[in-house]
Amino acid sequence: MALLPLVAVALGGCGRKASTAPPPPPRPVEVASAVARDVPLYIDEIGTCAAVETVVVQPQVSGSIAKIHFKDGADVRKGDPLFSIDRRPFEAERARAEAALAQDRVKRDFAGIKLRRAEKLRQAGTISPEEFDAAKSEADAAAAQVHADEASLAAAQINLDYCEIRSPIDGRTGDRKVDIGNVVEANKARLLEVRRQDPIYVQFTVPEADLPRVRAFLTAKSLSAEVSIPSEPDQGRTGRVDFLDNTVQGASGTVRLRVVVENADRRFWPGQFVNVRLLLDTLKGAVLVPARAVQVGQRGPFVFVVKKDATVDLRQVKPGQRQGDEIVIFEGVAAGEVVVTAGQLTLSPGTAVAVVGGAHGS
């Protein structure tokens, strides 16, 4: 009979080992709410700035550089003087042309007088037809010589005007290639380059695979692009696409586009590399979540969604383009749902969570 207490104790011990363990505490997480917002559909590329106009200034007459009217790197307006070539030889040529014209005008006038006399004598029958024809020929030749002299004078004046070399465009000068006293040859010497920087071109390429949709959007409407300096991404400027090249570059498999951007403050500089975001369209009411909410597993991208009972559900998602710190979600999450943005490593479907950071409806 002494065995009964021992049996009772043993049965009591078995009951304690079979008791249910307490549930694990909720996992701390940070969360944010999915939001709906209109966002751009875009292509990001690297571009290069280029002047909209570049002019190589060359002399149109040969001579010695007498004056330089600008400083290297100066902003100039169209018509501003740049160089002066020694005018004296061309002034002498113009003076010779003026003298020749004056002399031949006298000869023309005298030949005209002789012709009028010959006409009267012909009517009176006192000269032969050959004499009259000779007088008329002389008058016509004298008039033609005057026309030739006028053309020579005009050419001399043009050459004299070419001694003053002026800026053909609004722009910024580079460094001059000659100094005062250098003798330059017409249409051969390179004196200077002037580049127009406002507005400015931004040239970039897109992959051949993107060409069909770029062409589709460009045909339907005018496209714009945001241009920014890599070190200052938040200070971009929007320009319009004005050119799509007519061929795909075989070596790189890309096609070239060009954007025109206002640049009155010289923010962008020819030859400078910039970031280009080609804006194709606007996605209306797109669902966005913080980019750090999206994880990648064996089945692809997913997020954890916090349900009303404070447990999480694993959702496979179809992400789109990033929009700053957020990312577009095409499938898997609806606007207003709460997603986990930090603490995902400790979670599995059905895990209870406690929100310790983030915002519902951010």
Kindly report, residue by residue over 80-129, the tens digit of the pLDDT: 999 999 999 999 999 999 999 999 999 999 999 999 999 999 888 888 88
**Could you report the per-residue pLDDT of 12-64, keeping only the tens digit for each?**
454 455 557 777 899 999 999 999 999 999 999 999 999 999 999 999 999 99
State the Cα–Cα distance between residues 64 and 108, nearest whole angstrom. Answer: 38
CATH number of the domain residue 273 falls in: 2.40.30.170
Predicted pLDDT of residue 19: 55
63 shares its domain with 182: yes
139 shares its domain with 108: yes
Judged against a pLDDT cut of 60, whether residue 7 lies above it is answered with no
What's the domain range around 301? 27-38+285-359
In a domain, 242, yes or no: yes
249 shares its domain with 342: no
Among candidates 214, 282, 205, 259, which has minimal Cα distance to 41?
Answer: 282
Q: What is the largest CA-CA distance in the chain?
A: 184
State the Cα–Cα distance between residues 124 and 145, nearest whole angstrom. Answer: 31
Predicted pLDDT of residue 23: 78
Judged against a pLDDT cut of 90, whether residue 271 lies above it is answered with yes
For residue 63, which amino acid is it? G
How would DSSP label each residue in 158-187?
HHHHTTEEE-SSSEEE---S--TT-EE-TT
* The domain boundary residue, chosen from 231, 261, 280: 280
Among candidates 350, 342, 340, which has minimal Cα distance to 313?
Answer: 350
Query: What integer is the mean pLDDT of 221-225?
Result: 90
Contact 60, 283 (CB under 8 A): no
Structural domain total, the chain? 4
180 shares its domain with 112: no
State the Cα–Cα distance between residues 265 and 168, nearest whole angstrom. Answer: 21
State the Cα–Cα distance between residues 234 and 324, nearest whole angstrom. Answer: 10
- Retrieve residue 245's tokens: 């090249």
213 shares its domain with 328: no
152 shares its domain with 137: yes
Among candidates 228, 225, 316, 323, which has minimal Cα distance to 279?
Answer: 225
CATH number of the domain residue 65 falls in: 2.40.50.100
325 shares its domain with 352: yes
75 shares its domain with 122: no
**Could you report the per-residue pLDDT of 309-330, keeping only the tens digit for each?**
999 999 999 999 999 899 999 9
In a domain, 9, yes or no: no
> Which distant-in-sequence residues (6+ apart) come within 8 Å of 72 by Cβ?
173, 174, 175, 176
Predicted pLDDT of residue 22: 79
Contact 259, 202 (CB under 8 A): yes
In a domain, 342, yes or no: yes
* E strand spans, the chain: 27-33, 35-57, 63-68, 75-76, 81-85, 164-166, 171-173, 183-184, 192-207, 224-229, 232-244, 254-261, 273-290, 295-297, 300-306, 312-316, 318-323, 326-331, 338-342, 353-359
For residue 204, which amino acid is it? F
Q: In what order do the strands lie in the sheet with 81-85?
A: 164-166, 81-85, 63-68, 183-184
295 shares its domain with 339: yes
Query: What integer is the mean pLDDT of 127-148?
Result: 93
**Could you report the per-residue pLDDT of 287-298, keeping only the tens digit for each?**
999 999 999 999
Strands 35-57 and 171-173: unpaired
Q: Is 143 helix (H, G, I), strand (E, B) or coil?
A: helix
For residue 28, which amino acid is it? P
Judged against a pLDDT cut of 80, whether residue 269 lies above it is answered with yes
In a domain, 19, yes or no: no
State the Cα–Cα distance between residues 138 and 84, nearest whole angstrom. Answer: 43
First to last CA, the chain: 73
Q: Residue 154: pLDDT band by 50, 70, 90 thresholds?
A: very high
Q: Residue 8: pLDDT band by 50, 70, 90 thresholds?
A: very low
Residue 66 backbone dihedrals phi, psi, to 5 degrees: -100, -35
State the Cα–Cα distance between residues 352 and 313, nearest whole angstrom. Answer: 10
In a domain, 274, yes or no: yes
pTM here?
A: 0.74
CATH number of the domain residue 147 falls in: 1.10.287
